[in-house]
Every structure is written in structure tokens, then in C-alpha cells.
Structure 1
Amino acid sequence: METYFVSYSYVRSPGNFGFGHTEVKMNNKITNFEVLKHVANEIEKINDLPKESVVIMNFKRFSEG
């Protein structure tokens, strides 16, 4: 199990934006853009954000299992 710190920005509506961070646990390493897109989509679902409103700004792997 891989554990990552992920920081992101989001837009709820024009002029209504913010930043956040979260811990993500995954079975595999983040190795390409498609995996990052999946992480962004999950953040949107969990936080009830509009589709394609999250931009991953940075991520850092904490540990591997």
C-alpha cells in the first residue's frame, strides 16, 4: 500500500475557489497522468465538487507497504 500527501486547488464556481490537501492510500504508485486524474476525480466525489474542478498541485509519497 502506497501513502501519498496530495495538495490541490479547486473551483466551485467563478470567483469561488480554494485549496486543500489530503492523504491518499493506493495499491500502486502514482506513475502517470491518468493515475493523477483518477485521484482528482475521487477528491471531487468525496468533497462534492464539480467535475474537472480539481487540479493536483503536488504530491509526495510518504511510505510504501
Structure 2
Amino acid sequence: MMATIKCGNCGNEMKLPMCCGQPMHKEEDKLFCHKGAQCGCGNALGKPIPEHCGQPMNVV
């Protein structure tokens, strides 16, 4: 089953963003690459969780 994020307001769902061939994972209020500091895509410091309906989506 593919990891998804879901809007807490309207229920819209989408796949978690990918990085280095795998879905990113949530740590606090950001998404990170599974490779951590070894990521060569620029996501080692994390990226904001996508928003929908003006609020961050929930990882499900």
C-alpha cells in the first residue's frame, strides 16, 4: 500500500512525495528523504508538508 497524505478538512488524498526512489517520511512538521543527510536531491533538511484547504495535510 502506497503511503498517502490526506486533507483533514475535505478528505482529499494524494501520494506522499517521493525522493531517491522511495516515499518521504514525516518528522515533526516536515517531510524527509529516507537517505537523510546522504540525500543528493536537496531534501536532507526536509521540505514542508503539502497544504490543502489552507492547512498542512495529514500523513495516513
Q: TM-score, normalised by structure 2?
A: 0.39
Q: TM-score, normalised by structure 1?
A: 0.37
Greater RCO (Cα-Cα under 8 Å, separation 6 or more): 1
- Greater share of strand: 1
- Greater share of helix: 1
